Structure 1
Amino acid sequence: MLFGIIKLFSGYPLPDAAKIVFYRPGFYGNPAKNFTHRALRGPSAWSVGERELMAAYISGMNACTFCVKAHSAVSTKAYDNATIVDQVLADLNTAAIDAPLKATLTMLGKLTRENSINAADVRAVLDAGVSSQQIEDALAICFAFNVTNRLADAFGFFVPSDKAFEAGASYLLKRGYA
Protein backbone atom coordinates (compact mmCIF):
# COMPACT_ATOMS: atom_id res chain seq x y z
CA MET A 1 0.00 0.00 0.00
CA LEU A 2 2.87 2.37 0.87
CA PHE A 3 4.45 1.80 -2.55
CA GLY A 4 1.14 2.69 -4.22
CA ILE A 5 0.80 5.90 -2.22
CA ILE A 6 4.34 6.92 -3.14
CA LYS A 7 3.60 6.32 -6.82
CA LEU A 8 0.37 8.29 -6.56
CA PHE A 9 2.07 11.36 -5.09
CA SER A 10 5.36 11.24 -7.01
CA GLY A 11 4.09 9.99 -10.34
CA TYR A 12 6.80 7.33 -10.37
CA PRO A 13 7.00 3.84 -8.91
CA LEU A 14 9.25 3.43 -5.89
CA PRO A 15 12.71 2.46 -7.20
CA ASP A 16 13.88 -1.07 -6.48
CA ALA A 17 16.78 0.38 -4.48
CA ALA A 18 14.28 1.87 -2.04
CA LYS A 19 12.16 -1.29 -1.99
CA ILE A 20 15.10 -3.45 -0.95
CA VAL A 21 15.54 -1.53 2.32
CA PHE A 22 12.04 -2.62 3.33
CA TYR A 23 13.09 -6.27 3.06
CA ARG A 24 14.25 -7.47 6.47
CA PRO A 25 14.79 -3.90 7.66
CA GLY A 26 16.47 -4.97 10.90
CA PHE A 27 18.97 -7.20 9.07
CA TYR A 28 19.78 -5.30 5.88
CA GLY A 29 17.47 -2.35 5.23
CA ASN A 30 18.06 0.00 8.14
CA PRO A 31 21.80 -0.67 8.54
CA ALA A 32 22.41 -0.24 4.79
CA LYS A 33 20.27 2.87 4.53
CA ASN A 34 21.93 4.48 7.57
CA PHE A 35 25.45 3.59 6.41
CA THR A 36 24.77 4.96 2.92
CA HIS A 37 23.30 8.14 4.36
CA ARG A 38 26.33 8.71 6.57
CA ALA A 39 28.71 8.02 3.68
CA LEU A 40 26.94 10.33 1.23
CA ARG A 41 25.45 12.99 3.49
CA GLY A 42 27.32 12.84 6.77
CA PRO A 43 30.04 15.33 7.69
CA SER A 44 32.88 15.27 5.15
CA ALA A 45 35.33 17.58 3.45
CA TRP A 46 34.02 16.08 0.19
CA SER A 47 31.03 17.90 -1.27
CA VAL A 48 27.76 16.07 -1.90
CA GLY A 49 28.46 16.35 -5.64
CA GLU A 50 31.89 14.76 -5.23
CA ARG A 51 30.54 11.93 -3.07
CA GLU A 52 27.71 11.23 -5.49
CA LEU A 53 30.25 11.29 -8.32
CA MET A 54 32.28 8.68 -6.44
CA ALA A 55 29.14 6.53 -6.19
CA ALA A 56 28.48 6.94 -9.93
CA TYR A 57 32.11 6.20 -10.82
CA ILE A 58 32.28 3.06 -8.68
CA SER A 59 28.96 1.96 -10.15
CA GLY A 60 30.39 2.53 -13.63
CA MET A 61 33.40 0.38 -12.78
CA ASN A 62 30.91 -2.34 -11.80
CA ALA A 63 28.75 -1.73 -14.90
CA CYS A 64 25.68 -1.23 -12.70
CA THR A 65 23.36 0.74 -14.98
CA PHE A 66 20.77 1.54 -12.31
CA CYS A 67 23.31 3.00 -9.87
CA VAL A 68 25.28 4.86 -12.56
CA LYS A 69 22.13 6.59 -13.74
CA ALA A 70 20.83 7.28 -10.25
CA HIS A 71 24.03 8.75 -8.84
CA SER A 72 25.01 10.55 -12.04
CA ALA A 73 21.67 12.34 -11.85
CA VAL A 74 22.24 13.31 -8.21
CA SER A 75 25.83 14.40 -8.83
CA THR A 76 24.78 16.43 -11.87
CA LYS A 77 22.13 18.26 -9.82
CA ALA A 78 24.53 18.80 -6.92
CA TYR A 79 27.22 20.22 -9.23
CA ASP A 80 24.65 21.88 -11.50
CA ASN A 81 26.97 20.67 -14.24
CA ALA A 82 26.52 17.50 -16.29
CA THR A 83 29.86 17.97 -18.08
CA ILE A 84 31.95 17.06 -15.03
CA VAL A 85 29.99 13.88 -14.44
CA ASP A 86 30.01 12.89 -18.12
CA GLN A 87 33.78 13.50 -18.40
CA VAL A 88 34.61 11.40 -15.33
CA LEU A 89 32.44 8.52 -16.49
CA ALA A 90 33.80 8.67 -20.04
CA ASP A 91 37.52 8.94 -19.18
CA LEU A 92 38.81 9.77 -15.71
CA ASN A 93 42.30 10.52 -17.04
CA THR A 94 41.12 13.39 -19.24
CA ALA A 95 38.31 14.67 -17.00
CA ALA A 96 38.61 18.32 -15.96
CA ILE A 97 38.57 17.73 -12.20
CA ASP A 98 41.06 18.65 -9.52
CA ALA A 99 43.99 16.41 -8.62
CA PRO A 100 42.72 15.33 -5.17
CA LEU A 101 39.41 14.04 -6.58
CA LYS A 102 41.10 12.42 -9.57
CA ALA A 103 43.63 10.64 -7.33
CA THR A 104 40.85 9.45 -5.04
CA LEU A 105 38.72 8.15 -7.91
CA THR A 106 41.78 6.38 -9.33
CA MET A 107 42.30 4.61 -5.99
CA LEU A 108 38.60 3.71 -5.72
CA GLY A 109 38.66 2.39 -9.27
CA LYS A 110 41.63 0.16 -8.49
CA LEU A 111 39.99 -1.11 -5.31
CA THR A 112 36.78 -1.86 -7.20
CA ARG A 113 38.56 -3.59 -10.12
CA GLU A 114 41.25 -5.47 -8.22
CA ASN A 115 39.67 -5.79 -4.74
CA SER A 116 42.79 -4.39 -3.11
CA ILE A 117 44.96 -1.31 -2.74
CA ASN A 118 48.35 -0.90 -1.13
CA ALA A 119 50.33 1.71 0.76
CA ALA A 120 51.62 3.27 -2.48
CA ASP A 121 48.03 3.79 -3.68
CA VAL A 122 47.11 5.55 -0.46
CA ARG A 123 50.35 7.57 -0.49
CA ALA A 124 49.51 8.82 -4.02
CA VAL A 125 46.15 10.09 -2.76
CA LEU A 126 47.72 11.73 0.30
CA ASP A 127 50.36 13.34 -1.92
CA ALA A 128 47.56 14.79 -4.08
CA GLY A 129 46.37 16.72 -1.03
CA VAL A 130 43.64 14.43 0.27
CA SER A 131 43.39 14.06 4.05
CA SER A 132 43.30 10.67 5.75
CA GLN A 133 39.70 11.44 6.82
CA GLN A 134 38.73 12.11 3.20
CA ILE A 135 40.27 8.77 2.22
CA GLU A 136 38.26 7.07 4.94
CA ASP A 137 35.10 8.81 3.70
CA ALA A 138 35.79 7.75 0.11
CA LEU A 139 36.44 4.15 1.16
CA ALA A 140 33.07 4.10 2.96
CA ILE A 141 31.39 5.14 -0.30
CA CYS A 142 33.34 2.48 -2.16
CA PHE A 143 32.18 -0.18 0.28
CA ALA A 144 28.55 0.95 0.15
CA PHE A 145 28.42 0.92 -3.63
CA ASN A 146 30.32 -2.27 -4.21
CA VAL A 147 27.61 -3.93 -2.08
CA THR A 148 24.69 -1.99 -3.56
CA ASN A 149 25.85 -2.51 -7.15
CA ARG A 150 25.96 -6.26 -6.64
CA LEU A 151 22.49 -6.28 -5.11
CA ALA A 152 21.12 -4.12 -7.92
CA ASP A 153 22.47 -6.51 -10.53
CA ALA A 154 21.59 -9.68 -8.60
CA PHE A 155 17.99 -8.55 -8.18
CA GLY A 156 17.77 -7.01 -11.65
CA PHE A 157 16.74 -3.53 -10.51
CA PHE A 158 14.40 -1.91 -13.01
CA VAL A 159 16.06 1.04 -14.77
CA PRO A 160 13.46 3.82 -15.08
CA SER A 161 13.49 6.80 -17.44
CA ASP A 162 15.98 9.65 -17.16
CA LYS A 163 13.07 11.86 -16.06
CA ALA A 164 12.38 9.49 -13.15
CA PHE A 165 16.06 9.57 -12.16
CA GLU A 166 15.98 13.38 -12.25
CA ALA A 167 12.97 13.39 -9.92
CA GLY A 168 14.71 10.91 -7.64
CA ALA A 169 17.85 13.06 -7.67
CA SER A 170 15.89 16.06 -6.43
CA TYR A 171 14.44 13.96 -3.62
CA LEU A 172 17.84 12.53 -2.63
CA LEU A 173 19.46 15.95 -2.58
CA LYS A 174 16.71 17.29 -0.36
CA ARG A 175 16.23 14.33 1.99
CA GLY A 176 19.25 12.05 1.69
CA TYR A 177 19.15 8.29 2.19
CA ALA A 178 17.93 7.79 5.76
Structure 2
Amino acid sequence: MPHIALDENLPGITALFAYRPETAAPLGQLAEVLLRGPSSLSVGERELIGAVVSRGNDCTFCSRSHAAVAAEALEGGLSVVEAAWKDVDGAPVSAKMKALLHVALAVREGGKSVSEDLIAAARAEDATDLEIHDTVLIAAAFCLFNRYVDGLGTPAPDDQDAYQDTGIRLLEEGYTRL
Protein backbone atom coordinates (compact mmCIF):
# COMPACT_ATOMS: atom_id res chain seq x y z
CA MET A 1 0.00 0.00 0.00
CA PRO A 2 1.41 3.41 -0.96
CA HIS A 3 2.55 5.71 1.81
CA ILE A 4 0.84 8.69 0.15
CA ALA A 5 -2.39 9.09 -1.83
CA LEU A 6 -1.62 7.85 -5.36
CA ASP A 7 -3.75 6.80 -8.32
CA GLU A 8 -4.53 3.15 -7.56
CA ASN A 9 -4.61 2.31 -11.27
CA LEU A 10 -0.99 3.32 -11.87
CA PRO A 11 1.88 1.12 -10.70
CA GLY A 12 5.37 2.15 -9.67
CA ILE A 13 6.92 5.35 -10.90
CA THR A 14 3.98 6.10 -13.21
CA ALA A 15 1.84 6.83 -10.14
CA LEU A 16 4.56 9.07 -8.73
CA PHE A 17 4.96 10.92 -12.04
CA ALA A 18 1.19 11.52 -12.14
CA TYR A 19 1.27 12.71 -8.52
CA ARG A 20 4.00 15.26 -9.13
CA PRO A 21 4.37 16.12 -12.84
CA GLU A 22 6.86 18.93 -12.13
CA THR A 23 9.39 16.36 -10.86
CA ALA A 24 8.36 13.79 -13.47
CA ALA A 25 9.55 15.95 -16.35
CA PRO A 26 13.23 16.22 -15.36
CA LEU A 27 13.36 12.60 -14.19
CA GLY A 28 11.85 11.47 -17.49
CA GLN A 29 14.35 13.61 -19.38
CA LEU A 30 17.22 12.07 -17.41
CA ALA A 31 15.99 8.56 -18.22
CA GLU A 32 15.58 9.53 -21.89
CA VAL A 33 19.14 10.86 -22.16
CA LEU A 34 20.66 7.91 -20.31
CA LEU A 35 18.66 5.15 -21.97
CA ARG A 36 17.90 6.59 -25.42
CA GLY A 37 20.49 9.30 -26.06
CA PRO A 38 23.53 8.90 -28.27
CA SER A 39 25.74 6.07 -27.02
CA SER A 40 27.91 3.25 -28.26
CA LEU A 41 25.96 1.04 -25.84
CA SER A 42 22.71 -0.19 -27.35
CA VAL A 43 19.33 0.67 -25.86
CA GLY A 44 19.03 -2.97 -24.81
CA GLU A 45 22.39 -2.91 -23.04
CA ARG A 46 21.52 0.28 -21.17
CA GLU A 47 18.10 -1.09 -20.20
CA LEU A 48 19.83 -4.27 -19.02
CA ILE A 49 22.04 -2.19 -16.72
CA GLY A 50 18.91 -0.61 -15.23
CA ALA A 51 17.16 -3.96 -14.86
CA VAL A 52 20.16 -5.62 -13.19
CA VAL A 53 20.75 -2.74 -10.78
CA SER A 54 17.04 -2.60 -9.95
CA ARG A 55 16.95 -6.35 -9.32
CA GLY A 56 19.96 -5.96 -7.01
CA ASN A 57 18.03 -3.26 -5.17
CA ASP A 58 15.00 -5.56 -4.93
CA CYS A 59 12.80 -3.03 -6.74
CA THR A 60 10.08 -5.11 -8.37
CA PHE A 61 8.57 -2.37 -10.52
CA CYS A 62 11.85 -1.06 -11.96
CA SER A 63 13.50 -4.44 -12.42
CA ARG A 64 10.49 -5.93 -14.17
CA SER A 65 9.59 -2.90 -16.30
CA HIS A 66 13.16 -2.36 -17.52
CA ALA A 67 13.59 -6.11 -18.01
CA ALA A 68 10.60 -5.90 -20.35
CA VAL A 69 12.21 -3.10 -22.36
CA ALA A 70 15.58 -4.88 -22.46
CA ALA A 71 13.85 -8.08 -23.53
CA GLU A 72 12.27 -6.27 -26.47
CA ALA A 73 15.57 -4.67 -27.47
CA LEU A 74 18.06 -7.51 -26.94
CA GLU A 75 18.55 -10.54 -29.11
CA GLY A 76 17.63 -13.45 -26.88
CA GLY A 77 14.91 -11.49 -25.10
CA LEU A 78 13.94 -12.06 -21.50
CA SER A 79 16.20 -15.10 -21.11
CA VAL A 80 19.22 -12.77 -21.42
CA VAL A 81 17.89 -10.52 -18.66
CA GLU A 82 17.02 -13.42 -16.39
CA ALA A 83 20.48 -14.91 -16.89
CA ALA A 84 22.09 -11.57 -15.97
CA TRP A 85 19.86 -11.36 -12.90
CA LYS A 86 21.10 -14.76 -11.74
CA ASP A 87 24.78 -14.56 -12.71
CA VAL A 88 26.36 -11.71 -14.66
CA ASP A 89 29.35 -13.84 -15.62
CA GLY A 90 27.13 -16.60 -17.00
CA ALA A 91 24.85 -14.29 -18.97
CA PRO A 92 24.91 -14.48 -22.77
CA VAL A 93 26.26 -10.94 -23.21
CA SER A 94 29.63 -9.65 -24.37
CA ALA A 95 32.65 -9.65 -22.07
CA LYS A 96 32.54 -5.85 -22.14
CA MET A 97 28.90 -5.86 -21.02
CA LYS A 98 29.70 -8.28 -18.19
CA ALA A 99 32.50 -5.97 -17.01
CA LEU A 100 30.18 -2.95 -17.18
CA LEU A 101 27.47 -4.82 -15.27
CA HIS A 102 30.00 -5.51 -12.52
CA VAL A 103 30.75 -1.78 -12.39
CA ALA A 104 27.01 -1.04 -12.22
CA LEU A 105 26.50 -3.51 -9.39
CA ALA A 106 29.37 -1.92 -7.49
CA VAL A 107 27.68 1.47 -7.87
CA ARG A 108 24.54 -0.12 -6.43
CA GLU A 109 26.54 -1.04 -3.32
CA GLY A 110 28.02 2.45 -3.05
CA GLY A 111 30.04 4.81 -5.21
CA LYS A 112 33.28 3.99 -3.45
CA SER A 113 32.73 0.31 -4.23
CA VAL A 114 33.73 1.03 -7.83
CA SER A 115 37.34 -0.10 -7.68
CA GLU A 116 40.28 0.49 -9.98
CA ASP A 117 40.20 -3.25 -10.67
CA LEU A 118 36.61 -3.08 -11.93
CA ILE A 119 37.46 -0.12 -14.17
CA ALA A 120 40.60 -1.85 -15.44
CA ALA A 121 38.56 -4.97 -16.22
CA ALA A 122 36.06 -2.87 -18.20
CA ARG A 123 38.86 -1.13 -20.07
CA ALA A 124 40.50 -4.50 -20.80
CA GLU A 125 37.28 -5.39 -22.63
CA ASP A 126 37.49 -2.14 -24.65
CA ALA A 127 34.95 -0.16 -22.64
CA THR A 128 35.42 3.53 -23.41
CA ASP A 129 35.49 6.31 -20.85
CA LEU A 130 32.05 7.38 -22.06
CA GLU A 131 30.66 3.85 -21.61
CA ILE A 132 32.13 3.66 -18.11
CA HIS A 133 30.73 7.11 -17.30
CA ASP A 134 27.30 6.25 -18.61
CA THR A 135 27.24 2.90 -16.80
CA VAL A 136 28.00 4.59 -13.49
CA LEU A 137 25.41 7.30 -14.11
CA ILE A 138 22.72 4.82 -15.23
CA ALA A 139 23.37 2.70 -12.14
CA ALA A 140 23.30 5.74 -9.84
CA ALA A 141 20.11 7.03 -11.45
CA PHE A 142 18.43 3.67 -11.04
CA CYS A 143 19.35 3.64 -7.38
CA LEU A 144 17.50 6.95 -7.11
CA PHE A 145 14.50 5.65 -9.11
CA ASN A 146 14.39 2.41 -7.08
CA ARG A 147 14.44 4.24 -3.77
CA TYR A 148 11.81 6.72 -5.00
CA VAL A 149 9.47 3.92 -6.10
CA ASP A 150 9.95 1.69 -3.07
CA GLY A 151 10.38 4.50 -0.55
CA LEU A 152 6.82 5.62 -1.21
CA GLY A 153 5.46 2.07 -1.26
CA THR A 154 4.13 2.13 -4.81
CA PRO A 155 2.31 -0.99 -5.97
CA ALA A 156 3.94 -3.26 -8.54
CA PRO A 157 2.69 -6.43 -10.19
CA ASP A 158 4.98 -9.37 -9.44
CA ASP A 159 4.23 -11.20 -12.71
CA GLN A 160 6.73 -10.36 -15.49
CA ASP A 161 3.99 -10.80 -18.12
CA ALA A 162 2.19 -7.76 -16.69
CA TYR A 163 5.08 -5.58 -17.95
CA GLN A 164 5.23 -6.73 -21.57
CA ASP A 165 3.06 -3.92 -22.96
CA THR A 166 5.02 -1.37 -20.91
CA GLY A 167 8.28 -2.71 -22.35
CA ILE A 168 7.02 -2.38 -25.91
CA ARG A 169 5.63 1.12 -25.28
CA LEU A 170 8.79 2.42 -23.60
CA LEU A 171 10.98 1.00 -26.35
CA GLU A 172 8.85 2.69 -29.01
CA GLU A 173 8.02 5.97 -27.25
CA GLY A 174 10.81 6.54 -24.74
CA TYR A 175 10.62 8.33 -21.43
CA THR A 176 9.80 11.97 -22.12
CA ARG A 177 6.14 11.24 -22.82
CA LEU A 178 5.73 10.10 -19.19
- Which of 17, 24, 30 aligns to 1:21? It is 17
Matches within 5 A, 1:28-177: 28-80=23-75, 81-116=77-112, 117-160=114-157, 161-177=159-175
Question: 1:61 touches 1:113 (CA, 8 Å); kept in 2?
Answer: no
How far apart, CA to CA, are the structure 1 residues paired with 2:12 and 2:93? 32
Give the CA deviation at 1:151.
0.9
- Comparing 31-40 with 80-89, which one deviates more in the overlay? 80-89
Q: How many residues align?
A: 167
TM-score, length basis structure 2: 0.86
Which structure has more relative contact order (CA 8 Å, sep 6+)? It is 2
Give the CA deviation at 1:88.
0.4
Deviations 1:101-156 (A, max 9, x none): 00000111112124321333222211111111111121221121000000111112
Query: For the structure 1 residues 167 and 142, does the alpha-carbon distance in structure 2 shift closer, same or farther, using more than 3 Å as the test?
Result: same
How far apart, CA to CA, are the structure 2 residues paired with 1:154 and 1:42? 28
Question: 1:84 touches 1:97 (CA, 8 Å); kept in 2?
Answer: yes
Give the CA deviation at 1:25.
3.5
Structure 1 unaligned spans of 5+? 1-12
Query: For the structure 1 residues 162 and 87, does the alpha-carbon distance in structure 2 shift closer, same or farther, using more than 3 Å as the test?
Result: closer
- Runs of 4 or more consecutive aligned structure 1 residues displaced over 3 Å after TM superposition: 13-16, 22-26, 161-164
Deviations 1:34-72 (A, max 9, x none): 011100011111111111110000001111111111111
Identity across matched positions, percent? 32
Question: 1:108 touches 1:139 (CA, 8 Å); kept in 2?
Answer: yes
Question: 1:60 touches 1:89 (CA, 8 Å); kept in 2?
Answer: yes
- Comparing 168-177 with 88-97, which one deviates more in the overlay? 88-97
Give the CA deviation at 1:96.
2.1
